[in-house]
Amino acid sequence: MRKLKLDELNRLSTEAFRQAPKHPVCLMLDNIRSLHNVGSAFRSADAFLAEKILLCGITGTPPNRELHKTALGAEDAVQWQYFKNSNEAILQLKQDHYKIISIEHTNQSLPLQNFVPQKENKYCFVFGNEVFGVSDEILLHSDMCLEIPQFGTKHSLNVSVAIGIVLWNYVAKLKYHS
């Protein structure tokens, strides 16, 4: 066994990524404080061929040196939009026929493993502030909520970890289990 060399990974160039067909999914980052978490979201969106990222409220935007440290250039490939107000983003998503799925523990959230994406639907996964989570207002506009089952004392993951888990779950089910 040996690790693959960089030229063996078949990486897309930034331009090839922009032209590549994407999965019908986007991310909405609602008031994410940490630029490292935002950069990580770009990396995950790149890894799983997400359509775009919506950056809302206090969420930092490119170009930004701290964000770039984690994104490693993915911010140049993945399409993104900034919205001062998250409600504007939700309205646009609804007009574009996305299913809004907030990642949050609620009294009606579905465990992630039970979520079955439908190929005909477009999805936007909403991730909230590192301390306060997804806002109540966004929850009101959500079509559903998903939660990542956890078994320890915190019942909370870093938002960048949650993004990776949710995107992998979505793509794996769409590509390998449908």
For the chain, give every domain's residue range.
23-176
CATH class entry, domain 23-176: alpha beta
Q: Which residues have a Cβ under 8 Å from the Cβ of 54 and sit 6 or more positions away?
A: 26, 27, 28, 29, 80, 81, 82, 83, 89, 93, 124
Q: What is the mean pLDDT of residues 146-172?
A: 95
Using a pLDDT cut of 70, give the percent of the chain over it. Answer: 99
Closest listed residue to residue 48, CA positions, set 174, 177, 171: 171
Angle between helices 35-47 and 159-176 (to 10 degrees): 10
Convert the pLDDT of each residue in 5-26 to its tens digit. 988 888 899 999 999 999 999 9
Closest listed residue to residue 103, CA positions, set 130, 67, 70: 130
The mean pLDDT of the chain is: 95
Give the predicted TM-score (pTM) of the model. 0.95
Please provide the DSSP assignment of 15-44 as one string.
HHHHHS--EEEEEEEES---HHHHHHHHHH
CA separation for the pair 56, 86 (Å, rounded)? 5
Q: Is the pLDDT of residue 178 over 70?
A: no
Q: What is the mean pLDDT of residues 164-172?
A: 98
For 120, list phi and psi in degrees, rounded to 5: -80, -10
Q: What is the mean pLDDT of residues 97-116?
A: 97
144-147 sheet: strands from edge to edge: 79-83, 50-56, 23-30, 122-127, 98-103, 144-147, 110-111
Least confident of 42-46, 110-114, 124-128, 173-177: 173-177
Convert the pLDDT of each residue in 51-89 to its tens digit. 999 999 999 999 999 999 999 999 999 999 999 999 999
* Confidence label for 2 from pLDDT (cuts 50, 70 and 90): very high
Here the tokens at position 110 are 């579905």
